[in-house]
Amino acid sequence: MGSITLKNVSKTFGEAKVIPSIDLEIHDGEFVVFVGPSGCGKSTLLRLIAGLEDVSAGQILIDGKDVTAAAPAQRGLAMVFQSYALYPHMSVRNNIAFPLKMAKMDKAAIDRKVTDAARILNLTDYLERRPSQLSGGQRQRVAIGRAIVREPSAFLFDEPLSNLDAALRGTMRLEISELHHQLKTTMIYVTHDQIEAMTMADKIVVLNRGNIEQVGSPLELYRSPKNLFVAGFIGSPRMNFIDGAYAQSKNARTAGIRPEHIGLSKDSGLWTGRVTVAEHLGADTFLHLDVEGIGPVTARCDGEFGAHHGDKVYMTPDEAKLHRFDDKGIAIKA
C-alpha cells in the first residue's frame, strides 16, 4: 500500500510562508509529478512528506496512519536525490545493499534483493564496479536500486535527472516509467521540467508560490488549464496569450492559443505576420512571428513548411481550441 494524504499542510521558515496550506490525495500505485518553477515549494513539499522537514501545521497520513510527527525511517518511504549520494569506495553491490546491512538483514536475503534489483535496473554486469567506473545514468540507477531493495510503500524522487545530459535524461525517463509499471509502487517525482511531467505522470500537481494551481492528468491540464499560470506552464512551446481587440471579440480579457493550433499559409489567413525567428528542428519548425494587430506569436508547423526570417506568413487560429480567460486570469468555460 502507498496512499498519501496531506491535510491543511503548511510550512513556514521564520516569517516566510513557503507552503501556505495544501490538501492533496495521492492514491496507491499512482505516479504523481510535482511541477513548477524554481522556488515554487515542490522540493519542500516532498521533504515534508519524507519527514526531512517538520510541518508547521496540518497532517500527513500514509495508508491512513498519521505520520506527521514520525521520523523519516518510520514512514516506509525511499528517497532518490538529485545527487547520487553513492559511497565512492564501495562496489555497486555494496552501495545497493547498504541500507539492508544497516537494518541487519540476513545475508542471503540481502543477496537475493540486490540480485533482483540489479536485474530490474540492468546493473547485473556492473555489480563489482565502483561508482567512478559508471556513467551518470548508471550511477542514478544504482541510487534507485538502493531505494528498491528497501521495498518502500512509495518512492520519492527529487529532480533525479537534473545532472544528466539531454540524451540520458530521455533514456532515464523511459526507464523510470517502465520501473513504475513493473513495481506498481506509488511514486512522487519532483521536476521543474514540464516535459518530464507530461511524459511520465499519471497525475500532475502544478505548484506556484507554495499553492496548488491545478491537479489532473497530463491531457486534462493540456486541454483544460484552470488559469493563465497553468496554461502558460504546461505545453512546449508555451501557449500564446493575446489581449486587446481580438480577446475582447471573444468575450475574454485574454485569449490563449497553442502554437500547434495555428494553421499556416503563404497565401491567405485571418492574421498576417512576419517571421522574426525560425527554429528548424527536423520534423517540426517553430516560427516566431510579429503579427499585425496582435503582437508576438509562436506557431508550430511541419518541418517542410520552409519559412525563414523576414518571410510574410498568414495564420488562422483553430477557434475550437481557443482558451479564454477573465480579468483575474481564470479560465472561462465554454
Domain residue spans of the chain: 4-231, 238-325
Which three three-digit cell numbers place residue 173?
525517463
Q: pLDDT category, 171, cuts 50, 70, 90?
A: confident
d(CA 14, CA 129): 45
pTM across the whole model: 0.91
d(CA 213, CA 210): 9
Asked if residues 313 and 289 have their Cβ atoms less than 8 Å apart, the reply is: yes
Give the CB-side neighbour count of residue 71, counting CA atoms within 13 A: 2
CATH number, domain 238-325: 2.40.50.140
Which pLDDT tens digit goes with each residue over 277-303? 999 999 999 999 999 999 999 999 998
Say which CATH topology domain 4-231 has.
Rossmann fold (3.40.50)
Average pLDDT score, the chain: 93
Burial profile 155-177: b = 16 or more Cβ within 10 angstroms, e = fewer: bbbbbbbeebeeebbeebbebbb
d(CA 242, CA 252): 10
Q: Which helix H or strand E contains 65, and what residues bound it?
A: strand 65-66
Predicted pLDDT of residue 85: 82
Q: Which amino acid is at 177?
A: S
